[in-house]
């Protein structure tokens, strides 16, 4: 019993050692204003950013903005995963669907997604639905392509043996094709997750009255830089932890492959 | 040699109709393959003219093309596209050069790896676009801040791809190079970079669309003309033709750039075994 614990300590120490450079950078940030290397108007000291961040998270306003952003991001991403994934698997499974959709996908995939921001605002205004549509449209194609490549790569022998063992087409789809498409599909969703944050924050910076992105713009315009840096850090941490949590979930979901 | 002479021989002229026919057939297949796209474009035109939606929400495609043509005639289109391309490509090039250099240093020097590895692994998933107001605060509204923002966003996939690529170079190649007395510089330029090039190029292919996306966002958020800036102005003035013209233009520019990258990849990696494999590009 004591063996794992004895190994856990060096593991913890090496994990801490790994993040020493980040701590160094943060210390450098604080020192830069303490020793007057840069003006505090340009770079507010880390400690005052943290204290105004603490003040912020005790206000209801901050949580309203956070909830607005999370709502838009999660609904848009969820729609893109469901519809994009279904399209990708459909393209790999039924040839006519592939002939019909692949030129459209090929044409729209390289479209710089941020160009859609003004159009969705034109259609649906400045509220939630325009952001949801933007994130849905922008994140759908990476999921579609991941699902398509994954499902197309599923081994023909597996499909044939499932069919010859008497599985129906739908059963084969559910039990053979979809699971074997999983690794690439999940990778596509990871790209979509990163993209959803980019689209969410930039659309909120440009056109919105709610959400963390608009809060950053609002605080910056008011010259309240301590709080602005705090919200930027909050958004950065949100994106970082979303990715890490997703990675852990992805590894769990793919454990059967071991 | 025989092929070169054939090209100058008069008999080549006789083969021209065959070439034309072949070209025509290829074009025909292309048209059939792309017919869903053409159908979508026609459906757009018909739907917009049917009166089911107001022309403000969805102007007919033909009028969008007229708008693009008049912008092109006045020179505005060229200026907007050139400005956006200059910023996006300048940021992309900085990200490419600095990213590959940093990735190589990380893969070769342990201290550099120790310092940058946690920073890169934290920085990669962070939505760096949120730092836009900070960059504006530091560097102002003009090209420098936009290009910095683009490079900052595009550099992460290049660094990680370079590190992975160099670590993936087969040890036997490095050992045999060392055995014949290769010095450090030749090792870098003649062994490590070429051997890691497939991965590095994949990183660049991820970084380029990011550069264009971020370039357009910075123009929308800070102004300063360009395709993003003119779309944002059009959107503020409820000029929906301008917005849709901007979408079509960015779609075409994005498509061409992505295609150029895959052509470049095939050119640069002709020697690599991946060139033998069938590609979809």
What digits encode the pLDDT tens for the residues A120-142? 888 888 888 889 999 999 999 99
Name the band, by pLDDT with cuts 50, 70 and 90, for residue A56.
confident
Q: Which of residues 114-143 of B touch A (CB under 8 A)?
A: 114-119, 122, 125-134, 136-138
Nearest to B148 by CA among B222, B54, B60: B222
| Mean pLDDT computed over B180-194 | 82
Please determine, for residue B5, whether its predicted confidence score (pLDDT) is greater than 50: no
* CA distances from residue B176 to A216, B68, B168, B183, B190 in whole angstroms, order as listed: 55, 58, 16, 12, 13
For residue B48, the distance in angstroms to the closest alpha carbon of chain A comes to 14
Helix (H, G, I), strand (E, B) or coil at B270: coil
| Mean pLDDT computed over A92-118 | 86
A243 contacts in B (CB within 8 Å)? 125
B94 at interface of A, judged by CB pairs closer than 8 A: no
**Of the segments A90-94, B13-17, B81-85, B184-188, which one has the largest average pLDDT value?**
B81-85
A110 contacts in B (CB within 8 Å)? 209, 251, 254-255, 257-259
| Mean pLDDT computed over B246-272 | 88
> What are the residues whose beta carbons fall under 8 Å from the beta carbon of B211, sequence distance 6 or more?
B88, B89, B91, B92, B95, B150, B153, B154
- Separation of alpha carbons B105 and B113, rounded Å: 8
A242 contacts in B (CB within 8 Å)? 125
Asked if B125 and A123 come within 8 Å (Cβ–Cβ), the reply is no
Name the band, by pLDDT with cuts 50, 70 and 90, for residue B204.
very high
Mean of pLDDT over chain A: 85
pTM to 2 decimals? 0.83
**Of the segments A148-162, B215-229, B261-275, which one has the largest average pLDDT value?**
B215-229
For residue A71, the distance in angstroms to the closest alpha carbon of chain B comes to 17
The CATH class, in words, for B75-276 is: mainly alpha
Helix (H) or strand (E) run with residue A255 in it: none
Q: Which of residues 163-192 of A touch B (CB under 8 A)?
A: none
Mean of pLDDT over chain B: 84
- Separation of alpha carbons B91 and B83, rounded Å: 12
Name the band, by pLDDT with cuts 50, 70 and 90, for residue B10.
very low
Q: Please, are residues B210 and A110 in contact by the beta-carbon 8 Å criterion?
A: no
Q: Which two tokens stand for residue A182?
A: 């999983």
* CA distances from residue B39 to A91, B43, B59 in whole angstroms, order as listed: 18, 6, 17
Name the band, by pLDDT with cuts 50, 70 and 90, for residue A5.
low
Count Cβ atoms within 10 A of the Cβ of residue B210 and give its class: 0-12 exposed, 13-18 middle, 19 or more buried: buried
* pLDDT, position B279: 52
Asked if A119 and B244 come within 8 Å (Cβ–Cβ), the reply is yes
| Mean pLDDT computed over A251-255 | 84
| Mean pLDDT computed over A180-193 | 88
For residue A116, the distance in angstroms to the closest alpha carbon of chain B comes to 7
Among A22, A96, A111, the strongest candidate for a mutation testing the B interface, having the largest count of B CBs within 10 A, is: A111
Q: Look up residue B58 and give its DSSP letter.
A: S
Please determine, for residue A1, whether its predicted confidence score (pLDDT) is greater than 70: no
The residues of chain B that CATH labels 1.10.3720.10 are 75-276
For residue A162, the distance in angstroms to the closest alpha carbon of chain B comes to 28
Please determine, for residue B89, whether its predicted confidence score (pLDDT) is greater than 60: yes
Q: Please, are residues A182 and A254 in contact by the beta-carbon 8 Å criterion?
A: yes
Share of residues in chain B with pLDDT > 70 (%): 90
Q: Please, are residues B105 and B161 in contact by the beta-carbon 8 Å criterion?
A: no
| Mean pLDDT computed over A194-223 | 86
| Mean pLDDT computed over B191-211 | 89
Q: Which domains, and CATH codes, for chain A? A: 2-43 (no CATH), 48-257 (1.10.3720.10)
Nearest to A85 by CA among A23, A144, A129, A21: A144
| Mean pLDDT computed over A56-61 | 88
* CA distances from residue B166 to A163, A216, B32, B270 in whole angstroms, order as listed: 43, 39, 43, 19
B245 at interface of A, judged by CB pairs closer than 8 A: no
* pLDDT, position A3: 53
Q: Please, are residues A104 and B40 in contact by the beta-carbon 8 Å criterion?
A: yes
Does B38 or A80 have the greater pLDDT score?
A: A80
* pLDDT, position A7: 67
Please determine, for residue B19, whether its predicted confidence score (pLDDT) is greater than 80: no
DSSP string, A113-168: GGGHHHHHHHHHTTSHHHHHHHHHHHHHHHHHHHHHHHHHTS-HHHHHHHHHTT--
């Amino acid at each position: 019993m004591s063996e794992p614990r004895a190994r856990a300590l060096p593991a913890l120490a090496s994990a801490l050692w790994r993040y020493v450079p980040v701590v160094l950078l943060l210390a450098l940030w604080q020192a830069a204003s303490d020793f007057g290397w840069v003006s505090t108007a340009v770079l507010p000291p880390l400690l005052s950013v943290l204290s105004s961040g603490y003040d912020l998270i005790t206000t209801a306003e901050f949580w309203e903005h956070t909830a607005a952003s999370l709502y838009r991001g999660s609904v848009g991403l969820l729609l893109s995963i469901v519809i994009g994934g279904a399209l990708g698997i459909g393209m790999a499974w039924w040839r006519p669907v592939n002939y019909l959709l692949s030129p459209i996908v090929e044409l729209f995939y390289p479209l710089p997604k941020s160009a859609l921001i003004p159009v969705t605002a034109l259609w649906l205004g400045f509220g939630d639905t325009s952001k949801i549509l933007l994130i849905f449209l922008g994140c759908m194609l990476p999921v579609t392509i991941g699902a398509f490549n994954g499902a197309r790569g599923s081994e023909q022998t597996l499909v044939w043996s499932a069919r010859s063992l008497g599985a129906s087409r739908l059963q084969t789809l559910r039990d053979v094709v979809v699971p074997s498409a999983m690794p690439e599909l999940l990778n596509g969703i990871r790209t979509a997750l990163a993209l959803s944050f980019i689209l969410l924050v930039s659309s909120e910076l440009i056109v919105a009255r709610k959400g963390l992105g608009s809060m950053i713009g609002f605080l910056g315009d008011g010259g309240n830089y301590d709080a602005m840096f705090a919200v930027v850090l909050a958004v950065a941490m949100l994106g970082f932890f979303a990715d890490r949590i997703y990675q852990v979930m992805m590894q769990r979901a793919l454990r059967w492959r071991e | 040699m025989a092929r070169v002479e054939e090209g100058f021989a008069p008999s080549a002229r006789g083969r021209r109709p065959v070439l034309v026919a072949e070209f025509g057939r290829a074009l025909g297949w292309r048209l059939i393959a792309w017919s869903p796209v053409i159908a979508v474009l026609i459906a757009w035109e018909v739907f917009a003219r049917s009166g089911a939606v107001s022309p403000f929400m969805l102007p007919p495609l033909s009028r969008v093309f007229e708008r693009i043509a008049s912008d092109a005639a006045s020179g505005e289109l060229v200026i907007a596209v050139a400005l956006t391309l200059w910023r996006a490509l300048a940021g992309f090039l900085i990200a490419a050069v600095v990213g590959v250099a940093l990735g190589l240093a990380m893969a070769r020097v342990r201290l550099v790896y120790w310092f940058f590895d946690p920073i890169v692994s934290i920085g990669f998933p962070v939505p760096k676009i949120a730092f836009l107001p900070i960059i504006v605060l530091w560097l102002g509204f003009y090209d420098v801040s936009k290009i910095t923002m683009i490079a900052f966003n595009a550099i992460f996939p290049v660094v990680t791809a370079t590190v992975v690529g160099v670590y993936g170079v087969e040890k036997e190649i490095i050992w045999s190079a060392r055995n014949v007395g290769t010095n450090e510089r030749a090792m870098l330029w003649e062994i490590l970079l070429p051997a890691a090039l497939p991965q590095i190029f994949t990183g660049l292919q991820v970084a380029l669309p990011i550069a264009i996306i971020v370039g357009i966002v910075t123009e929308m958020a800070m102004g300063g003309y360009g395709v993003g800036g003119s779309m944002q102005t059009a959107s503020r003035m409820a000029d929906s033709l301008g917005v849709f013209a901007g979408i079509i233009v960015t779609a075409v520019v994005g498509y061409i750039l992505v295609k150029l990258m895959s052509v470049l990849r095939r050119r640069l990696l002709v020697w690599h075994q991946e060139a033998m494999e069938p590609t979809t590009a």
